[in-house]
């Protein structure tokens, strides 16, 4: 049976890019996810001990080395990365590191109309004064929970629980057709 | 003048024409017309029949407040909209509209006989008359006979029966300032707020064009046009026309509905019909203007009787005259202005009848200069005509007495102006308050929430010409048989309101409900003040003391489609599928909804029924091996120094003593001691646990665990992570389970003695990381293979290929249910209902003997939970082995009558078992464990089923199949 | 839809991100507690007209439980505070 190899089939396997003029949703290349849970000061101490900068504040995200560190709550940090997450992060996190790579799917939203498209399902004020670049927060899109990270004025990264991906793309497909002009 | 359309003036597209039909008759109008303006331009004045008396009715008003001209707009199957206000329906090429509440036709309506029977229809008529004789305590006559008849005779339009084919959009929006209404005050507010480009402004207007009254007033047109042009250049301004603000909630939350395509002859195929805007506004400016009130006197509802302001708008905006020979009856100077404008437009003003003794200086002088006959200090006594007004009778007054004989003036139109009411529904919805302003004879804003401003006429800041009022029933009209309408849409008369007060209704809220005044689809926009005034007068109390009824949202009816938005059909709720969904689909799975998940119910083969497939799958697991997608099971990873101590307090079972690599079936109770959840606790290492929950329970469990972690057991250092979706789970169950997995597993010794029942190991499945759990929900030897979700599909395919080589196959949820029930394994929510303890289920053993504290322990010690005679889990075997009991059926003693006695218990699960060769059931039965062998009765419609009480474990009571 | 200021996230967020979690400051009776006292702990609630102390969880946000003082007449949230913190004094 050693000859049998299991091929991965990720959440996007049968799903494709969704777009309307001005807004594109495509699979994020971030494949690896580790959830850190620790009391705030503990993580800071450990990162300092490892010679690293302080972790991001609550509701903020920051690129650190080649991974992104998102902090949706006071005692949790989510690391997302395209490449395998290096063991040093596991060391820092200790027993509170949890591998959740396959439990979520990443969606990249980009284009001048993504803010409007998100507003069909997201109750937060996404104006840059209220949701600036670098902010990351869990909230809702339609009836699906998501973690939204603003990477640029017109670029968002969305993390969604794996089984909600198709519902989110379907909701975008239906609502984006019906957006007003601006 | 052609028809009633003037040759100049107005703000519509005079050059182009559109055709439309009303009640099947074709007419022409112009783009920019409303249905009401186009019908009146064509000389059509009879547009509807009234609710109760089927009285002929014409257009009364000019906007959302219109009570009479309700029409059905027919845009094809599923797109029939009843109760549209003709004053708001925009004309487009091919518009099909119909009048309502008439049979067989609008001109000849059989229902009008109600008008002759009017003494039969006083306030409360239905309550008094149709209670009927009750039969067995039920008002059958009302339900079966009267109500359907009345509903047919007295009604509004009919809703379509087909599904709505249209799409409805929805958006969240945020702004610093929301301005409601685009009249002069609204435009000024929007202009000044949007000067600062950092201030986001939304201006919404219910009409299809911005400007409000300015659209009807040639002198205001320039300001209006410039203001709109300026606002359009500002990127921080969003202008929304055809957008109704229907509800104002706390903290600046506002509901707007935008009509997107209803006005288009040929809407884009993708365009939504309406769009819901859920706006959060820092500040709200209510600039909603004021609504004119009619005068209350006998026969004040004939077609041809119209509000003065509505006629002014009709002429100024649409270039349409309401008639040719016009009488204006008024208590304000504003109506004089209407008369002058109509005279300029070519109409003949027969007379101005002023309720007051003196009109304002300026309008009096102008009337005189124009040679218009003005009579003052009078009352109106009625109108003549049948389907259209032909004259109006009045009499001079001195104080409250008639001063002379009544006189009649012939006319084809009677314009009325009883004063103006600030439109403050939104303020009331936002929990602001109103106060009565006696000089203005109107409710004006009193306490205004700090985030709201009221601007323009809505604030009660009336220019002198809008002041003045004639409230309630005009004097000289005490004849009890006269119909002086107050609420035109619900056919409530002055007499009805007086009757209600005579019958003892003193609260205005009760008067409203008894008479139904203000309860029609227009919510009494034109009628409330007159109704209040009549009630106050007949209660001999002041109007402010009488108070006013509460304005509730929506301001105008809102379609269900708009409120539902995209959330319908496939998008009603997210549909969740497991990583192996496609594999199940390929194998012919029939799915069922479990929470948001699609789960395979069974896998019928070609030509096989679902029932037969379930039976086959159930047998396959017991005889060979079955493969089951268990990915939806909730999974939580619990980590940290105190993870074990935390779980030990959470579960009713001891957990702290669980060795790494071991699993335990565990019960979760609430503080009251009742079982709320079960699952497996697996200890991966000293500080790491993998726990499972039911499919539907994981959200609730995580919520509960976080609650205790964050707020109760704060001394413990541990963390919870939902990992349900990271792991795909394939259950391999049956005597050949080990044979299926063994060749695929790497790094784990799966031999019986190395990996006994209720253990967990970490290793690999053909190279992929795997958490392998030895557990069983079937009673057979079982493994649960957890692999990262990306590998779930191919892992299941590989395991299935192995299983099929050994005579096994897939099984679905229904077979799983039968298998577990044969073993007496419970399902939360099926055997339990929130009032069941572990002891009731025979699971007391799970809590262990050693003294320790856990959630629910104290609750379990409450006397009711320890009492004898509680319902306990038992098995039932129907006498007839072919019978499958109904889940939920009640159980009684063998010789008790079928009805009228208390039940001994109920059936919780019932199936046909191929392994037992008969129907069997689980049940919760009073004192059940002491009643083994007793025969009970399950009464069913038309029969009584006998069943014997047995142990809930039907197969392998020693559990031999689990091991080895 | 209310705006609820989450004390962890630091600014008001829409109500649909939250889940209500019952009355705050319920005290489990000291053991040994009478059955009556325990039943009161389980089932008896204040349900005041006026200021109610209640628990909320920012379930579709930071995930934290916190306490809020809400005026049940005006439906206004007057204060929020973290578990373990003293109930603040507010006027309705």
The whole domain housing B764 covers 616-820
Is B132 buried (19+), middle (13-18) or exposed (0-12) by CB count in 10 A? middle
State whether residue B725 sits within 8 Å of chain C by CB: no
Helix (H, G, I), strand (E, B) or coil at B869: coil
Q: Tell me B575's DSSP state.
A: P
pLDDT band of residue B252 (cuts 50, 70, 90) is: very high
d(CA B653, CA B445): 63
By mean pLDDT, which of B31-35, B140-144, B750-754, B893-897 is the weakest? B140-144
Give, to the nearest 10 degrees, the angle between helix B308-318 and helix B334-345.
Answer: 40
> Is residue B784 in some structural domain?
yes
pLDDT band of residue B481 (cuts 50, 70, 90) is: confident
Q: Tell me B366's DSSP state.
A: H
Choose one of B129, B161, B193: the last residue of a domain. Answer: B161
CB contact under 8 A, C64 and A73: yes
Question: Which pLDDT does position B238 carry in this prediction?
Answer: 98
State whether residue B574 sits within 8 Å of chain C by CB: no
Question: Rounded to the nearest 10 degrees, how much is the dihedral formed by the CA atoms of B515, B519, B520, B524?
Answer: 100
> Is residue A181 in some structural domain?
no
By mean pLDDT, which of A93-107, B687-701, B755-769, B792-806 is the weakest? A93-107
Question: Are A123 and C17 a contacting pair, CB within 8 Å?
Answer: yes
Chain B residues 294-323 within an 8 A CB cutoff of chain A: none
What is the number of structural domains in chain A? Answer: 1
State whether residue B280 sits within 8 Å of chain A by CB: yes
E-only strand ranges, chain A = 18-20, 23-27, 32-37, 60-64, 67-73, 76-81, 97-99, 104-110, 136-141, 144-152, 155-161
> Is residue A53 in some structural domain?
yes
Read off the pLDDT of residues B670-684 as tens digits, 9 standing for 90 and up.
999 999 999 999 999
Longest Cα–Cα distance of chain C, Å, equals 43
Question: Rounded to the nearest 10 degrees, how much is the dihedral formed by the CA atoms of B833, B835, B841, B844?
Answer: 140
Read off the pLDDT of residues B254-290 as tens digits, 9 standing for 90 and up.
999 999 999 999 999 889 999 999 999 999 999 999 9
Region C29-52 average pLDDT: 94
> Is residue A51 in some structural domain?
yes
d(CA B133, CA A29): 73
State whether residue C36 sits within 8 Å of chain B by CB: no
Work out how many CB contacts closer than 8 A connect A with B: 148
Q: Interface pTM (ipTM) of the complex?
A: 0.97
d(CA B79, CA B156): 17
> Is residue A2 in some structural domain?
no
pLDDT band of residue A65 (cuts 50, 70, 90) is: confident
Q: Per CB distance under 8 Å, which residues of C are interface residues toward A?
A: 1, 8-10, 13-14, 16-17, 60-64
| Chain A residues inside the 8 Å CB shell of C12 | none
> Which chains are within 8 Å of B by 3+ CB pairs?
A, C
Question: Which pLDDT does position B1 carry in this prediction?
Answer: 42
**Whether residue B112 sits in one domain with residue B25:** yes
Q: CATH no. for residue A87?
A: 3.30.1360.120
pTM of the entire structure?
0.93
**Whether residue B263 sits in one domain with residue B311:** no
Residues 6+ away with beta carbon under 8 Å from B163: B78
| Rg of chain B over all Cα atoms, to the nearest angstrom | 38
**Whether residue B139 sits in one domain with residue B262:** no
Question: Are B590 and B604 a contacting pair, CB within 8 Å?
Answer: yes
| Chain A residues inside the 8 Å CB shell of B793 | 9
Question: Quick count: other Cβ atoms within 10 Å of Cβ A36?
Answer: 24
What is the number of structural domains in chain B? Answer: 5
Considering only residues B533 and B140, tell me which one the structure prediction assigns the higher pLDDT: B533
Nearest beta carbon to residue B703 from set C12, C38, C57: C57
Region B428-437 average pLDDT: 93
Question: Rounded to the nearest 10 degrees, how much is the dihedral formed by the CA atoms of B266, B267, B268, B269?
Answer: -90
d(CA C28, CA C12): 31
State whether residue B451 sits within 8 Å of chain C by CB: no
State whether residue C19 sits within 8 Å of chain B by CB: yes
Closest C-alpha to C77, from C37, C9, C26, C20: C20
Beta bridge partners of B182: none
Count the helices and strands in chain A (H runs, E runs). Answer: 4, 11
Region C52-67 average pLDDT: 97
> Is residue A148 in some structural domain?
yes
Ramachandran assignment for B348, one of left (phi > 0), alpha (psi -120 to 50 degrees), beta (any other): beta
**Whether residue B622 sits in one domain with residue B766:** yes
User: What φ, ψ does residue B829 adopt, rounded to 5°?
Assistant: 90, -15
d(CA B249, CA B488): 29
The angle at the Cα of B662, spanning B658 to B666, to the nearest 5 degrees, equals 65
> Is residue B588 in some structural domain?
no
The whole domain housing A119 covers 21-176
Question: Are B199 and B174 a contacting pair, CB within 8 Å?
Answer: no
Tell me the HSE value of B673 on the side-chain side, using a 13 A CA sphere: 17
Choose one of B495, B522, B546: the last residue of a domain. Answer: B546
**Whether residue B804 sits in one domain with residue B666:** yes
Q: For B429-486, what is the HEC assignment?
A: HCCCCEEEECCCCEEEECCCCCCEEECHHHHCCCCHHHCCCCCCECCCCCCCCCCCEE
Count the helices and strands in chain B (H runs, E runs). Answer: 25, 49
Residue B148 has pLDDT above 50, yes or no: yes
Nearest beta carbon to residue B711 from set C14, C31, C65: C65
Is B381 buried (19+), middle (13-18) or exposed (0-12) by CB count in 10 A? buried
Residue A172 has pLDDT above 90, yes or no: yes
CB contact under 8 A, C9 and A140: no
pLDDT band of residue B108 (cuts 50, 70, 90) is: confident
> Is residue A62 in some structural domain?
yes
B745's tokens: 């597993």
> Is residue B268 in some structural domain?
yes
Chain B residues 725-784 within an 8 A CB cutoff of chain A: 725-728, 743-744, 765-768
Nearest beta carbon to residue A140 from set C10, C16, C62: C16
d(CA B231, CA B44): 38
State whether residue B650 sits within 8 Å of chain A by CB: no
Question: Which pLDDT does position B330 carry in this prediction?
Answer: 97
Helix (H, G, I), strand (E, B) or coil at A23: strand
Question: Are B145 and B541 a contacting pair, CB within 8 Å?
Answer: no
Beta bridge partners of A148: A137, A158
Helix (H, G, I), strand (E, B) or coil at B570: helix
**Whether residue B189 sits in one domain with residue B77:** no
Read off the pLDDT of residues A7-54 as tens digits, 9 standing for 90 and up.
899 999 989 899 999 999 999 998 999 999 988 788 888 888 888 888
d(CA B98, CA B71): 6
Closest C-alpha to B494, from B335, B308, B294, B306: B294
Region B20-45 average pLDDT: 96
| Chain A residues inside the 8 Å CB shell of C8 | 58, 73-74
- Which domains occur in chain C, in start order? 3-81 (3.30.2270.10)
**Whether residue B249 sits in one domain with residue B190:** yes
């Amino acid at each position: 049976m050693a000859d049998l190899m299991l091929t991965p089939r990720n959440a996007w396997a049968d799903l494709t890019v969704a777009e309307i003029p001005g807004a594109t949703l495509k699979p994020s290349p971030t494949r690896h996810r580790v959830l850190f849970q620790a009391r705030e000061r503990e993580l800071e101490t450990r990162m300092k001990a490892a010679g690293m900068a302080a972790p991001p504040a609550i509701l903020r995200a920051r690129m650190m080395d080649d991974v992104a560190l998102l902090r949706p709550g006071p005692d949790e940090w989510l690391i997302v990365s395209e490449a395998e997450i290096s063991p040093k992060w596991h060391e820092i996190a200790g027993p509170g590191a949890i591998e959740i790579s396959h439990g979520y799917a990443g969606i990249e939203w980009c284009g001048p109309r993504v803010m409007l498209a998100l507003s069909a399902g997201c109750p937060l004020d996404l104006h840059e004064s209220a949701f600036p670049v670098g902010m990351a927060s869990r909230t809702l899109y339609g009836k699906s929970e998501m973690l939204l990270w603003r990477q640029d004025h017109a670029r968002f990264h969305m993390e969604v629980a794996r089984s909600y991906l198709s519902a989110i793309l379907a909701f975008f497909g239906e609502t984006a057709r019906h957006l007003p002009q601006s | 003048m052609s028809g009633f359309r003037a040759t100049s003036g107005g703000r519509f597209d005079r050059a182009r024409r559109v055709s439309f039909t009303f009640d099947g008759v074709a007419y022409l109008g112009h783009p920019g017309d409303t249905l009401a303006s186009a019908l009146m331009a064509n000389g059509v004045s009879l547009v509807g029949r009234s609710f109760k008396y089927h009285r002929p009715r014409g257009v009364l008003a000019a906007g959302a407040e219109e009570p009479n001209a309700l029409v059905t707009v027919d845009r094809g199957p599923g797109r029939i909209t009843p109760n549209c206000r003709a004053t708001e329906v925009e004309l487009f090429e091919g518009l099909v509209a119909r009048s309502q509440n008439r049979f067989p036709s609008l001109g000849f309506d059989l229902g009008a006989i109600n008008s002759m029977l009017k003494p039969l229809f006083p306030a409360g008529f239905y309550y008094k008359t149709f209670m009927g004789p009750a039969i067995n305590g039920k008002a059958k006559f009302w339900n079966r006979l009267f109500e359907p008849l009345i509903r047919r005779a007295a009604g509004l339009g009919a809703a379509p029966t087909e599904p709505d084919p249209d799409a409805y959009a929805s958006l969240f929006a945020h702004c610093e300032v929301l301005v409601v209404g685009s009249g002069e005050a609204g435009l000024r507010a929007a202009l000044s707020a949007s000067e600062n480009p950092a201030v986001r402004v939304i201006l919404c207007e219910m009409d299809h064009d911005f400007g409000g009254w300015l659209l009807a007033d040639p002198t205001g047109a320039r300001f209006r046009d410039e203001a709109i042009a300026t606002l359009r250049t500002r990127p921080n301004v969003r202008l929304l026309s055809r957008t109704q603000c229907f509800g104002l909630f706390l903290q600046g939350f506002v509901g707007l509905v935008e009509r997107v395509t209803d006005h288009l002859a040929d809407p884009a195929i993708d365009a939504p019909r309406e769009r819901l805007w859920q706006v959060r506004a820092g500040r709200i400016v209510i600039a909603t203007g004021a609504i004119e009130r009619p005068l209350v006197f006998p026969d004040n509802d004939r077609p041809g009787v119209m509000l003065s302001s509505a006629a002014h708008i009709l002429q100024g905006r649409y270039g349409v005259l309401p008639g040719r020979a016009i009488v204006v009856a008024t208590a304000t100077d504003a109506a004089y202005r209407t008369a002058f404008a109509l005279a300029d437009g070519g109409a003949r003003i027969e007379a101005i009848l002023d309720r007051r003794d003196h009109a304002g200086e300026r309008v009096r002088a102008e009337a005189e200069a124009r040679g218009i006959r003005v009579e003052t200090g009078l009352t109106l006594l009625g109108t003549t005509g049948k389907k259209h007004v032909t004259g109006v009778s009045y009499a001079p007054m001195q104080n409250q007495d008639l001063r002379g004989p009544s006189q009649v003036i012939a006319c084809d139109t009677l314009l009325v102006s009883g004063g103006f009411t600030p439109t403050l529904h939104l303020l009331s919805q936002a929990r602001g308050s109103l106060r009565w302003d006696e000089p203005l004879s109107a409710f004006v804003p009193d306490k205004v929430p700090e985030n709201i401003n009221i601007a323009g006429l809505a604030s009660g800041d009336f220019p002198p010409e809008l002041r003045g009022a004639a409230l309630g029933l005009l004097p000289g009209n005490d004849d009890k048989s006269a119909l002086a309408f107050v609420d035109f849409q619900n056919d409530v008369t002055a007499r009805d309101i007086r009757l209600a007060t005579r019958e003892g209704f003193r609260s205005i809220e009760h008067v409203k409900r008894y008479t139904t005044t203000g309860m029609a689809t227009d919510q009494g926009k034109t009628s409330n003040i007159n109704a209040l005034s009549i009630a106050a007068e007949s209660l001999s109390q002041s109007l402010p003391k009488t108070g006013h009824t509460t304005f509730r949202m929506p301001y105008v009816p809102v379609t269900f489609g708009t409120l539902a938005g995209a959330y319908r059909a496939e998008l009603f709720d997210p549909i969740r599928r497991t990583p192996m969904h496609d594999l199940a689909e390929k194998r012919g799975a029939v799915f069922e909804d479990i929470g948001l998940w699609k789960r395979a119910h069974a896998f019928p083969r070609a030509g096989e029924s679902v029932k037969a497939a379930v039976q086959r799958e159930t047998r396959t697991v017991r005889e060979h091996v079955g493969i089951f997608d268990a990915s939806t099971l909730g999974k939580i990873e619990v980590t940290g120094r105190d993870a074990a101590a935390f779980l030990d307090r959470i579960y009713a079972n001891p957990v702290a003593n669980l060795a790494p690599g071991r699993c335990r079936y565990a019960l979760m109770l609430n503080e009251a001691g009742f079982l709320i959840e079960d699952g497996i606790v697996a200890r991966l290492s000293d500080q790491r646990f993998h726990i499972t929950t039911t499919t539907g329970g994981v959200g609730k469990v995580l919520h509960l665990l976080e609650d205790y972690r964050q707020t109760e057991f704060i001394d413990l250092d541990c963390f919870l992570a939902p990992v349900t979706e990271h792991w795909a789970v394939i259950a391999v169950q049956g005597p050949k389970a080990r044979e299926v997995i063994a060749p695929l597993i790497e790094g784990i010794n799966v031999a019986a003695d190395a990996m006994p029942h209720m253990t967990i190991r970490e290793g690999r499945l053909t190279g992929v990381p795997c958490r392998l759990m030895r557990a069983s929900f079937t009673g057979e030897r079982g493994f649960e293979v957890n692999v990262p979700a990306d590998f779930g599909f191919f892992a299941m395919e590989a395991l299935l290929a192995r299983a099929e080589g050994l005579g096994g196959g897939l099984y679905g949820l229904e077979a799983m249910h039968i298998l577990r029930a044969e073993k007496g394994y419970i399902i939360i929510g099926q055997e339990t209902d929130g009032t069941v303890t572990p002891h009731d289920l025979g699971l007391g053993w799970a809590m262990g003997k050693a003294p320790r504290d856990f959630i629910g322990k104290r609750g379990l010690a409450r006397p009711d939970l320890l009492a004898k005679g509680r319902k306990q889990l038992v098995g039932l075997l129907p006498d007839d082995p072919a019978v499958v009991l109904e889940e939920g059926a009640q159980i009684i003693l063998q010789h008790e009558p079928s009805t009228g006695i208390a039940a001994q218990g109920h059936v919780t699960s019932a199936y046909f078992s191929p392994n037992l060769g008969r129907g069997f059931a689980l049940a919760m039965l009073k004192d059940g464990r002491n009643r083994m062998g007793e025969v009970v009765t399950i009464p069913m419609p038309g029969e009584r089923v006998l069943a014997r009480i047995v142990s809930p474990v039907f197969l392998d009571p020693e559990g031999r199949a689990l091991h080895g | 839809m209310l705006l609820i200021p989450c004390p962890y996230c630091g600014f008001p967020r829409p109500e649909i991100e939250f889940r209500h979690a019952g009355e705050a400051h319920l005290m489990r009776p000291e053991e040994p507690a009478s059955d009556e006292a325990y039943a009161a702990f389980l089932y008896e609630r204040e349900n005041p007209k006026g200021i109610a102390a209640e628990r909320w969880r920012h379930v579709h946000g930071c995930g934290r439980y916190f306490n809020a003082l809400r005026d049940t007449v005006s439906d206004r949230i007057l204060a929020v505070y973290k578990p373990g913190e003293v109930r603040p004094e507010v006027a309705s």
